[in-house]
Amino acid sequence: MTHPDIVIDQIPVNFKNAAFLNAGPKQLGDSHRAELLEHVRIAKAIARPKALYLSASILLPRAQTVEVLGHSIENPILYANLQRLNRVFVFIITCGVELAEWKNSLSSAVDRFFADLVSEHALGAAYNHHAHGLASMNPGSTPGWQIEDQRIIFSILKNAKEKIGVELRDSFFMVPTHSASGILFESEKGYQNCQLCALENCPNRSAPFNPAGYEHLFHAM
């Protein structure tokens, strides 16, 4: 059974404890703190992050293949994570066109850097508002699940541009840039994509790299 998709556009954004309030000045110097705080003030007034998602049943018709609403996704990691489940949430989230248009109006590299920080924070607010402790996987973020499969997410969640302002380009990247899509699911082991990413010094890392887990899944591909 599939439920109608749901749009959430009243998502609060709390900048009070945002990590970048400390990270930004350290990277650019204390003289820029007043500029950063001014960008936060503007963002508070205009930020409207949004989420589009639906609950859908899944099938596992063959090894390494997950079927969602008639769309087949071939990925051993997703298949392994969903073996004990029969339902997932498909989602698209965004910082919102309001922040994107504001950022695009800025000419200074420093101003755009600060706008990126607040937009990323607003995207995180959209994710946390509807994830509720669920794990997630995203096309292009794990071995074997190619970014081209963004088309599947946007085929399942139709009219994302009209509903929340997110458009998928021919390059398979989304506009606004600070947007994300994928599948949410229950995970007893607390799966996180970062466990399979060896990129060092990533500012968005949420879990340490697990070499053993990566090797096990990589050789299963």
Across 142-152, average pLDDT: 88
Kindly report, residue by residue over 41-56, the tens digit of the pLDDT: 999 999 999 999 999 9
Average pLDDT, the chain: 85
Q: What is the pTM of this model?
A: 0.84
Q: Could you state, in order of their start, the residue ranges of all structural domains in the chain?
A: 6-192
Least confident piece of the model among 113-127, 148-162, 199-213: 199-213
Kindly report, residue by residue over 2-61, the tens digit of the pLDDT: 568 999 999 999 998 888 887 544 555 667 788 899 999 999 999 999 999 999 999 999
Sign of CA dihedral 179, 189, 57, 71: positive
Of 146, 181, 142, nearest to 160 by C-alpha is: 181
Output the pLDDT for position 205. 40
Which residues lie closer than 8 Å to 20 by C-beta, 6 or more apart? Answer: 36, 117, 118, 120, 121
| Strands annotated E in 29-112 | 50-62, 65-68, 71-74, 87-94
Across 60-70, average pLDDT: 94
Q: Which amino acid is at 125?
A: A
Which residues lie closer than 8 Å to 28 by C-beta, 6 or more apart? Answer: 110, 113
Helices (H), 2-84: 20-28, 33-46, 76-82
Output the pLDDT for position 28. 58
Output the pLDDT for position 118. 95
Cis peptide before 203 (omega within 30 of 0): no
Output the pLDDT for position 141. 80
Of 95, 69, 112, 90, nearest to 166 by C-alpha is: 95
Output the pLDDT for position 33. 82
Across 65-86, average pLDDT: 92
Question: Does the pLDDT at position 209 exceed 50?
Answer: no
Domain 6-192 -> CATH class: alpha beta
Output the pLDDT for position 40. 95
Kindly report, residue by residue over 80-130, the tens digit of the pLDDT: 889 889 999 999 999 999 999 999 999 999 999 999 999 999 999 999 987
Task: List the Cα angle 143/145/148 in 5-degree steps.
Answer: 130
